[in-house]
Structure 1
Amino acid sequence: MRTIRNQLASVNPIALIFYGLIVWFIVAFLIYPNVNIYYEIFFKDGKFSLDAAEKLLSSERAMRSLYNSFILAVSLVFTVNIIGVVLVLISEYFDIKGAKILRLGYFTTLIYSGVVLVSGYKFVYGENGFMTKLLAGLFPSFDPTWFHGYWAVLFVMTFACTSNHVLFLSNAIRKIDFQTVEAARNMGASTFYILWRVVLPVLKPTMFALTILIFLTGLAATSAPLILGGKEFQTITPMILTFSKSVSSRDLAALLALVLGLATLVLLTIMVRFERKGNFMSVSKVKSELVKQKINNKLGNIAAHILAYFLFLIYIIPVVLIIIFSFTDAHSISTATLDFSSFTLNNYLFVFSTMSAFKPYLVSIAYAAAASVAVVALTLVASRILHKFKNKWTLALEYALLIPWMLPSTLIAIGLIVTFNMPRLVIGNAVLVGTVWMLFLAYVIVHIPFTLRMVKASFFSLDSNLEDAAKNLGAKPFYTFMKVLLPIILPSTLAVLALNFNSILADYDLTVFLYHPLYQPLGIVIKNSTDAQALADTKAVTLVYSVVLMIMSGLTLYFVYGRKSRS
């Protein structure tokens, strides 16, 4: 205790104010709402009650949504892993002609995802979509309303959720020791045997982590079930959204969000336990770079190439058609027809010259910029504390800041709604529901864990001698931080800021719960354009939004990852 007092006595008063603000933020927005949601569910009138649980169990829609969510999550575990592994084998392991071009197609989900991706697939395969019109022309009996329900959601999410495979599994497969593969081949092992018994076992830890992430993604899916699921396939998150709009059913929304949160915690716990027990280390001491393997069987080689390019088309067609149709008039978009005379730049001119069309961009950019800067500033101060002091209090601080990583964004949103829809002393008796601050705070909260991990890693990679030298020269702590430490960690910090900005810009899953009706971000506008009653002009503007978002995402990824790989 005396040591802590001595440390506090030596801290600058301004720094103490920053530390106090961090503690207040953690208590007010990370701990209190998530504890209060339990109270609102089980102690609504001050007495313990299971009425909410009874209402949930007696609600056929709610129980069906739970069932559908788990069915979708289990299905995605199989489909995404199969497609993801195939993509990685095609682009990294087997010798496939045109692998570099194929890789570009497989990586398209990195530049457009979430509601933008789902709206793109509906634009292509929906009732009035280009591919649906094409198939209906080839097969007169083809049902134009085919793309909805469980199978449509599963199809879109299968190809949308392979981003982590092409990033992390590709990196894991490049680390396989080629000498082991060659030794197995020299012993007469077939290509399939080597793949099954030598290659895939090395990928187990990555595969297991990806499987947990896939299951959680399927469980908390929002955009795809909401846009494509229809009435026959409603999942947990859309149902939570429906319940949260009514005061009388918010306890059901909170309880469903709580079920989602408990499932998340259980799965994360299982993942940690299995990773600790597992032993997947390679026994090779001298590694040689993996050489792409040729498929000697002629029919197998042809089949692999056909599959590779078929998957490439599935990934690339929505992107290409979104870009092409963004340059056409409203009539071409509504009828899904292409004519050279219909090409125009009017859609882009309208978006960037009309305030009503450009407003969603301004709103999203303002939210993304403000939240990204705020979360980086918060984690910089927190990381500085964690780097400078090492005790049980800093350990508690770190765990508290990682709370949002253990909870689905749905539960965080419902916690904020339920807690701050009335005056609360912890925030000066203010009411946040119905203000622009709710969404801003939610963006900051959900991005704290990732940002903290990245910024903290930058701090702990610093040479401690730099700070000691500055101190010996008489520099004050704040001056040392601003002039010595911050310039060193600034590049990686700006990279994290750019990634956060990119992910917030078109967010829908969190935004739909908390956005202000007068300030609709891009994610909301894009989703609304997928409704059947949306005007053709609205869809044209949305296509422009999607293209510009893809360009911005691509540039962000290039400056964060592309330049690093070149250096």
Structure 2
Amino acid sequence: MKATKIRTAGSPVNGSAFILYGLIAWFVITFLIYPNINVYYEIFFSDGNFSFEAVNKLLSSDRAMRSLYNSFILAISLMVTVNIVGVALVLIVDYFDIKGAKILRLGYFTTLIYSGVVLVSGYKFVYGESGYMTKLFANLFPSFDTTWFHGYWAVLFVMTFACTSNHVLFLSNAIRKIDFQTVEAAKNMGGSTFYILWRVVLPVLKPTMFALTILLFLTGLAATSAPLILGGTEFQTITPMILTFSKSLASRDLAALLALILGLSTLVLLTIMIRFEKNGNFISVSKVKSVLVKQKINSKIGNIAVHLIAYFLFLIYIIPVLLIVIFSFTDAQSISTATLNISRFTFDNYIQVFSSMAAFKPYLVSILYAAGASIAVVALALTASRILHKYKNKWTNFLEYSLLIPWMLPSTLIAIGLIVTYSTPKMLIGNTVLVGTVWMLFLAYVIIHIPFTLRMVKASFFSLDNNLEDAAKNLGAKPFYTFRKVLLPIILPSTLAVLALNFNGILADYDLTVFLYHPLYQPLGIVIKNSTDAQAVADTKALTLVYSVILMIISAVILYFVYGRKSKS
């Protein structure tokens, strides 16, 4: 009876299974638990004795304290600006009856295929000192300051329009679930369009908006690309400062302490979010819901104003994408001078990327990292999900919680933990050093994608019919054969979708990559960021535009096959 209580299914574990489970246990201890615990040791016991020296150094560092202040200011600002813009986008395309809503949706959804360092570099290319739009403004207004696009306001502007992806995905789903009968009842009682919106519609969206607000705060707190590229010396935030400190052994403890503060802030906010969701009462009182019908704006002035806002936002989203695509077909001189001339249009930039190994190398490096890490994390998640599905005891509970650690910590803290821990030989990895090798970044990619992959793959496993495995076992099939021939084909479609999303996320990653990449094997994210530097040559910027366009195409194709085909089936 005791064995039945601990193990819910399966035959006795054989030798190969023990080896496999042992490898998973080694991976969890070596890369998920030990580095994160070691960060605490390096901060408070760097010389073998407990000390607050790192804390004193942080408090006495004006740059470090200013970066903390700037990060919290940015995080709080984003909670306001992104929610305003995000809610406006969702109302425009899903709630109000707006002319051309389908076209507007395409513009608003560009952030799904165009994000991170690619988006930030694109905005700098368009609005920077030598950008096309900046030169246009300067021609229209001779006194216009061409150096306007930097500092806090530039970072806030870019991140406001870059961080609405979750709104157009999750808040759109929430608004479509609103009961139309409730809206009609309020309208019959004399409620105006905007009164109904404020008192009936928005309160229903409260739980989704609360979760998105917490995520926005965490995003602003850990922002990397935008402050690094656009912040300048006057607006430095935590993550760029951590990057600066981590490059020196003398200040590495400061980098670890800042990363720890970032991690603790994340844990506190996630705890608050969970507690609010548990205490909140977000249950709909409607028993039979009717599909929401788009609402007409009765006020003529209000209708015109909303349409103007809708198309103004559309222009903000679409202009950088269009200009990047257009300029990718021009020569280096046109790009450096931000001028468009049809006689200078050419395919040479694309030909060079695919014909020159030096130009194609960043793509090749990123593709190899993305493919290798995606396959590795899916294999790990499949094995772990199989264990969690087959057994239920305290060890499997420990395994599951351990694999979710990267979800509770910012990628910055994970990177610093790996740097601090494996910059010297360690017995856990055979007395070798990982810092400075190509494997460090590969392992980091695997680590940060474990929680999402595990949740998705585990859900597929637990949706399986247990009778299938029992039938195969009764027919004499071995466990591995049953998994390979019976179970895997069923969960393969969802597993491949997760693999594709992971591949897409890794391909142009910068925030984690910048801490751990090998100088001789620079991924796309690093190359794209370097092209935004003032000293970058025009030819490099031309290739970067091609990189950005191809990345957008790849992202669009992957998202279509993961979401588009599914929605049609």
How high is the TM-score relative to the length of structure 1? 0.99
Relative to structure 2, which stretch is displaced further, 187-196 or 234-243? Answer: 187-196
Q: Counterpart of 1:183?
A: 185
Q: What secondary structure does 2:147 align onto?
A: coil
User: How far has the Cα of 1:12 moved from its partner?
Assistant: 2.5
Q: Are 2:290 and 1:288 equivalent residues in the alignment?
A: yes
User: In structure 1, what is the equivalent of residue 311 of structure 2?
Assistant: 309
Equivalent residue for 2:49, pick from 47, 50, 64? 47
Match of 2:412 in 1: 410
In structure 1, how many angstroms separate the alpha carbons of the residues matched to 2:39 and 2:17? 32
* Residue 308 (structure 1) shift: 0.2
SS class of match (1:282): coil
Distance 1:11 1:276, change over 3 A: same
Percent of matched pairs sharing the same residue: 83
Aligned counterpart for 2:389 among listed residues 387, 390, 393? 387
Find the aligned partners of 2:468 and 2:7 in 1 and give their Cα distance: 26
SS of 2:437's equivalent in the other structure is coil
Supply the distance in 1 between the matched residues of 2:513 and 2:263 (Cα, whole angstroms).
18
- The equivalent of 2:158 in structure 1 is 156
Unaligned runs of 5+ in 2: none
Q: Distance in 1 between matches of 2:416 and 2:76?
A: 25
Is residue 338 of structure 2 the alignment partner of residue 336 of structure 1?
yes
Tell me the alpha carbon deviations over residues 175-214 of structure 1, each in whole angstroms, 9 at most, x when there is no partner: 0000000000001111111111110111111001000000
Q: Provide the residue aligned with 1:401 in structure 2.
A: 403
- Local SS of the residue matching 2:485: helix
- RMSD between superposed Cα atoms in Å: 1.1
Alpha-carbon displacement from aligned partner over 1:408-446 (angstroms, at most 9, x marks no partner): 000000000000000001111110000000000000000
Q: Does 1:544 align with 2:539?
A: no
Q: Structure 1 counterpart of 2:249, which letter?
A: V
Distance in 1 between the 2:263 and 2:172 partners? Answer: 30
- Measured against aligned partners, the alpha-carbon deviations of 1:138-189 in whole angstroms (never above 9, x if no partner) come to 0000000000000000000000000000000000000000000000000111
Matched with 2:210 is: 208
> In structure 2, what is the equivalent of residue 146 of structure 1?
148
Shift of 1:16: 1.5
How far 1:2 sits from its partner (Å)?
5.4
Rounded to whole Å, the distance in 1 between the matches of 2:9 and 2:542 is 60
Equivalent in the alignment of 1:234: 236
SS in 2 for 1:116: helix
Any residues of structure 2 matched to 1:65-214 within 5 Å, and which?
65-214=67-216
Instruction: List runs of 5+ in structure 1 lacking aligned partners.
Output: none
Trace 1:259-278 onto structure 2 (pairs within 5 A). Answer: 259-278=261-280
What's the secondary structure of 1:517's corresponding residue? coil
CA distance in 2, matches of 1:163, 1:102: 14
User: The residue matched to 2:490 in structure 1 has which SS?
Assistant: helix
Equivalent-residue separation in structure 2 for 1:45 and 1:522 (angstroms)? 39
Shift of 1:41: 0.4
What CA deviation, in whole Å up to 9, does each residue of 1:441-464 have, x standing for no partner?
000000000000000000011111
How many correspondences in the alignment? 567
Amino acid at match of 1:179: Q
Q: Which whole-Å CA distance do the structure 2 matches of 1:8 and 1:179 have between them?
A: 51
Q: Which residue of 1 aligns with 2:374?
A: 372
Aligned to 1:462: 464
When residues 461 and 6 of structure 1 are mapped into structure 2, their CA distance, relative to the original with a 3 A threshold, is closer
User: Which of 473, 488, 491 is 1:489 aligned to?
Assistant: 491
Which position in structure 1 is the counterpart of 2:444? 442
Structure 2 SS opposite 1:291: coil
What corresponds to 2:325 in structure 1?
Answer: 323
Aligned counterpart in structure 1 of residue 36 of structure 2, from 34, 37, 59 = 34
Alpha-carbon displacement from aligned partner over 1:288-312 (angstroms, at most 9, x marks no partner): 0000000000000000000000000
8 Å CA contact 2:71, 2:222 repeated in 1: yes
Q: Which range moves more in the overlay, 555-564 or 468-477?
A: 468-477
CA distance, structure 2, for counterparts of residue 55 and residue 511 of structure 1: 27
Distance in 1 of aligned mates of 2:8 and 2:132: 70
CA gap of 1:5–1:485, structure 2 versus 1, over 3 A, is closer
Within the candidate set 475, 478, 486, 2:477 is matched to: 475
In 1, Cα distance between equivalents of 2:86 and 2:304: 20
CA distance in 1, matches of 2:194, 2:311: 21
1:465, distance to aligned residue in structure 2 (A): 1.0
1:350 corresponds in structure 2 to: 352
Aligned mate of 1:219, from 202, 218, 221 = 221
Contact kept, 8 Å, 2:10 with 2:390, in 1: the verdict is no
Give, in whole Å, the separation in 2 of the partners of 1:8 and 1:155. Answer: 55
Deviation at 1:100, TM superposition (A): 0.4
Contact 2:7/2:393 (8 A) holds in 1: no
2:555 matched residue in structure 1: 553
Q: Which amino acid aligns with 1:252?
A: L
* AA partner of residue 46 (structure 2): K
The SS at the match of 2:416 is: helix
Q: Deviations over 1:455-508 (max 9, x none)?
A: 000001111111111111111110000000000000000000000000000000
Secondary structure at the counterpart of residue 46 of structure 2? coil
| Residue number in structure 1 paired with 2:22 | 20
